[in-house]
Each structure stands twice: as C-alpha cells, then as structure tokens.
Amino acid sequence: MHQASLGTVQLGRTGLEITRIGLGTWAIGGGGWEYGWGPQDDEDSIGAIHRALERGVNWIDTAAAYGFGRSELVVGRALKGLAERPYVFTKCSLLEGPDRRVVHNLRRDSILREAESSLGRLGIDVIDLYQIHWPNPDADIEEGWSALVELKERGLVRHIGVSNFDLEQLRRVEKIAPVETLQPEYSLIERRAEQELLPYCEREGIGVIVYSPMGSGLLTGKMTRARIGGLAEDDWRRRDPRFQEPALSSNLELVDRLRTVADRHATTPGAVAVAWALRNPAVDGAIVGFRSPDQVDAILGAAELDLTDDDVVDIERGESGRGR
C-alpha cells in the first residue's frame, strides 16, 4: 500500500501505527435494517475502500451489525488479492432480530460465534482490533469483556477494545483485563466524551478512535434541508433529532462557520470538522465513512490540516459546546 503523505500515530499502547483517518463502513452496510443508510451500491463501496487505501489509509473499521454482515462481506471482497492488507477493526454484540432490528447480546457463546462469523466474512485469519459495540445489556458487560479476553488468548484477535462505554463501565471491565482502545462518538455536535472519557483515556494510555466526526454527514457542507427531506425512508437519520428542528437550524449555522474556516484553508467543511476532532490530544484517529471513491480525497486532507486557535474560536462561536 502507498503510504502517501498521511502520517501515523501509535494507537494507545497497542503498538499499532495507524493513520489519523480510518475508513468507516457503517453506511456501506446499506439500507433495509434498523440503522441503515438507504440504498448503497457494493461496487461503489469497494471503489471507495480501494481509493482510501491507495491514498495511504491503513485501517478499516467495520462491524458485524452493519447491514447484518453485508459491510464485513464487502470489506472482505475489497481486501481479496491485496498484496498488503490494512488493519481490520470490527465489533460484536449486536445481532439481527425480528424485522431486521438490533438485538443486544454479550453472552460468551454468542460473542465467540460472532468472532468466527466475522473472520469468515472478512476472509482473514485474525482480527487486528475486536470491540464490544455497545455496553448492552449492562449486566453482561463483564461476561462480554471476558469473552474478548479469551479470543485474544486464543489468537483470533490481536487487540481488544470497547465502543460507546461510559467511564464507570470502562472501569468495571478494566478489573478483568486492560482496555486497549475506546471508540466514542465525538464531533462538534456531540462533545460529551470531552467531560470524562477523553481525559481518562489520555491519562491511562488508552487508544481512542472516534466515530461520526462529521455528525453522520451533517457537517460535510453538503447536507441541506432539501437533502434531508429527500433521504431514503430506510435511512436512520430521518428519525434523528439532530436532523430535525429545533437542532437542525443551529447545526446548519455551525456548518456555515465551518465553511468560512474551510475557505481559508482551501478545503471542505467536512475536513475542518474532522481536523477539529483530531485536535483533541486524547484522539489518535477519526473514523470517516466514504460511500464512493469521489468522496475520499476531499476529507483525507483533514489529516494534515492544522487549525489555528483563531479558527477554533470562529468554529465554536455560539456553541454551547458540551453535547446534547
């Protein structure tokens, strides 16, 4: 793989050297399930993956839940035949229930089955980072974490982490084995991780990769009221309060401020939003979803974009700044 000009950082204490931006594959799981993104062409998805890898991105973040296996299968197809594969991170604990809705399961036997299935779909021998997707049911997080420890001991996964855990849950599972990475949601419109989680991870040396740094597309600069109104019926964002009033107006005002800063740097609002998230000293990498090859280049510039303090003041003006 060409490393291009994308620098790397160490992901916590894992020893993995990752590019500051990784490829997220939630949207390429397509529509037709509870948290789907509407229709998606698999060939576009594979093209986007190949373009990101050509540009030097060296890790992909996926999950068994995305399209209930579809995203992992597409990633597996994209990786087939590559001389050198990127790091592959995936997640467990969300299963397909009735009407393609999500069912949460953190029982040991279920997680061991999920890991085997993910390895098969991805076409790889070992998962570089395996993560608990959501800490539900809360009472079972110790059992779920112990299953990930077991998978690591068996050599099926190299590193283990958690996603969407709060600080108390993080501390509970750390009594069993160290948490190597955390994956929280973090963006200009979702800043709750700043309060406790990110400072804790920075102090403890826990690697952090953040998801939805562009607010699930809201901060790209391409999301308008008309476009939101035209989202597919099976796009989960139609139901999300951030895409509805009263939040929508303030979020679109934020995009205008991002655009002002983007113009200064000859880049896009989305790249500025990602660069803002990467400025936090606790954040090692940001997960960015690409649904087609032509979306890749505009955002990768965020990895090298140095925002000034004045830029940040201009972006955050008017922000309450502490999440919803």
Residue 37 lies in a domain: yes
Q: What angle do CA 72, 159, 190 make, to 5 degrees?
A: 70
Residue 144 lies in a domain: yes
Instruction: Please give the average per-residue pLDDT across 208-213, as a whole number.
Output: 97
Residue 126 lies in a domain: yes
What is the rounded average pLDDT for all residues in the chain?
93
| Residue 1: both structure tokens together | 């793989």
Q: What is the CATH number of the domain that holds 148?
A: 3.20.20.100
Residue 34 lies in a domain: yes
pTM of the model: 0.93
Instruction: Please give the average per-residue pLDDT across 244-252, as a whole number.
Output: 89
List alpha helices for the chain, DSSP H.
42-54, 70-79, 108-122, 141-153, 167-174, 197-204, 225-229, 247-265, 269-278, 296-300, 309-316
Residue 255 lies in a domain: no
Residue 47 lies in a domain: yes
Task: List active site positions.
Answer: 66
Residue 263 lies in a domain: no
Cβ–Cβ < 8 Å for 258, 64: no
Domain boundaries, position 122:
17-217+283-293
Confidence of residue 227 (pLDDT cuts 50, 70, 90): confident
Domain count, the chain: 1
Residue 251 lies in a domain: no
Which pLDDT does position 240 carry in this prediction? 86
Q: 160: which residues sit within 8 A by CB, 6+ positions away?
A: 129, 130, 131, 145, 148, 149, 151, 152, 177, 179, 180, 181
Which pLDDT does position 76 carry in this prediction? 98
Instruction: Please give the average per-residue pLDDT across 281-286, as a whole number.
Output: 98
